[in-house]
Amino acid sequence: MDFAPTEEQQMVRDMARRFAETEIKPKAAELDERHEHPAEIVKQLGELKMMGIAVPEEYGGGGMDYVSYVLALIEISKACASTGVIMSVNNSLYCFPVQAYGTEEQKKKYLYPCASGEKIGCYGLTEAGAGSDPAGMLTTAVKDGDEWVINGEKKFITNGNVSGYAVIAAITEKGKGYKGISSFVVDLDNTPGFKVGRLEDKLGILASGTAELILEDARLPADGLLGNEGEGFRQMLTTLDGGRIGIASQALGIGRAVLEEALEYARTREQFGKPITSFQAIQWKLADMAMEIDAAELLTLRAAWLEDHKKPYEKEAAMAKTYASDAAMRASIEGIQILGGYGYCKEYPMERHMRDAKICQIYEGTNEIMRLVIAKNLIRN
């Protein structure tokens, strides 16, 4: 059992760390305050092959593995969780399904622009009445000659306001439940009938846009269908498994930032004539943070390793996402407690970390649903 990253994986992590420290971290607070999409940073991530890390080079990606993806995404998210989720969604929720289920022509047409960082991709699944229960979606796709006509509204779509491409889930055969769902890949910039709706005003990840996608008689060419009709739900489950590894990595980045900043503050903050690191109450908080974050990282790397080796990883991805997001949330709460009044003020990034951590327990499968996924796998086996 080897816990050390390969030389290539180490190089990817080091590159991501240097870029995050020099180019992202100094701008993170301002991006959050202004609710500003980090367009220039994302462009640079594309140039570094971070927007399609595990996509083969011939399709514009980095040709690396998912362990490298996790290591890089932790570093990016540690500097700015908003940038981390933009990168995660593009890699996991857009590039993955197009690469996994697309034809050669679709990969060249729809995968290359996003894997190379020229464009950004998103994933249109959630609706007002279809979150944890995707079978409740109302978006439909009807064949009309050589085209598909899509009608519906998708909500809470990360990257939705800045994306050039999207994978959209829709009902192609009513009355069949999950078996009636199909996936489509959509060129948003060149699809009549598509528009961006409301942009959500959120608690955290404020530099990442979360938008409605509205499709009104939106017409797609026949090659917009991803895979075969009725395969959308199966594709969705596998896509979300990988997405959960991305969210676990995002949460880990937040947790690492919290621990580093809490430790730095505690070493210099004095009370009763000595640093607060000398008090057992503070030591225990730091120890708990470190234990939980390290454990979460091991869970996440295991899930990524399984994906790299083409082994089942649904349960492991759910475990990683749940544990990492819970650990990040607990760490951020305790981080604020260690900083005291300063932790509650925007002068320090700790309050941003807490706002950013919360969503990791919700999106790409709530942690309640994740526990059902874990239990299902345990009982089935």
pLDDT digits (tens, 9 = 90+) for 59-79: 999 999 999 999 999 999 999
Instruction: Write the pLDDT tens digit of every residue in 289-340.
Output: 999 999 999 999 999 999 999 999 999 999 999 999 999 999 999 999 999 9
DSSP characters for 215-233?
EEEEEEEGGGEESSTT-HH
Q: What is the pLDDT at residue 132?
A: 85
For 271-337, what is the HEC assignment?
Answer: ECCEEHHHCHHHHHHHHHHHHHHHHHHHHHHHHHHHHHCCCCCHHHHHHHHHHHHHHHHHHHHHHHH
- Coil, strand, or helix at residue 33? helix
% of residues, the chain, pLDDT over 70:
100
Give catalytic residue positions: 364
Q: Judge whether 52 and 117 are in contact, CB under 8 Å.
A: yes
Is beta strand 165-171 parallel, antiparallel or unpaired with respect to 121-124? Answer: parallel
- Superfamily (CATH) of domain 240-380: Butyryl-CoA Dehydrogenase, subunit A, domain 3 (1.20.140.10)
Per-chain mean pLDDT for the chain: 97
Q: Could you state, in order of their start, the residue ranges of all structural domains in the chain?
A: 7-115, 121-232, 240-380
* 3 state DSSP class of 80: coil
Q: 178, 131, 126, 182: which is closest to 157 by C-alpha? A: 126
Kindly state which CATH superfamily the domain 7-115 is placed in: Acyl-CoA dehydrogenase/oxidase, N-terminal domain (1.10.540.10)
Alpha-carbon gap, residue 345 to 228, rounded angstroms = 52
pLDDT at residue 133, as a whole number: 86
Query: What band does 28 get if pLDDT is binned at 50, 70 and 90?
Result: very high
**148-203 confidence digits (pLDDT tens):** 999 999 999 999 999 999 999 999 999 888 899 999 999 999 999 999 999 999 99
Residue 123: how many CB atoms within 10 A of its CB?
28
Bridge partners of residue 152, in order along the sequence: 215
Contact 335, 255 (CB under 8 A): no
Radius of gyration of the chain (CA): 21
Q: What is the mean pLDDT of residues 108-124?
A: 97
The reported pLDDT for the residue numbered 177 is 86
pLDDT of residue 136: 87
Q: Are 43 and 86 in contact (CB under 8 A)?
A: no
What is the H or E stretch that residue 68 is in? helix 66-79
- By C-alpha distance, which of 119, 208, 217 is closest to 166? 119
Asked if residue 191 lies in contact with residue 343, where contact means CB atoms within 8 angstroms, the answer is: no
Residues 276, 282: contact at Cβ < 8 Å?
yes
Out of 1.10.357.10, 2.40.420.20, 2.40.110.10, 3.10.20.600, the CATH code matching 121-232 is: 2.40.110.10
Query: How far apart are the C-alpha atoms of 178 and 166, rounded to whole Å?
Result: 20
pLDDT band at 130 (very low <50, low <70, confident <90, very high): confident
Q: Give the containing element (helix H, strand E) for 370.
A: helix 367-380
Report the predicted TM-score, pTM, of the whole model to 2 decimal places. Answer: 0.96
pLDDT, one tens digit per residue, over 206-231 is 999 999 999 999 999 988 999 999 99
The gap from C-alpha 202 to its chain's centroid, in whole angstroms, comes to: 16
Buried (b) or exposed (e) across 307-318, using 16+ Cβ within 10 A?
Answer: bbeeeebbbbbb
Q: What mean pLDDT comes out for the span 98-112?
A: 97
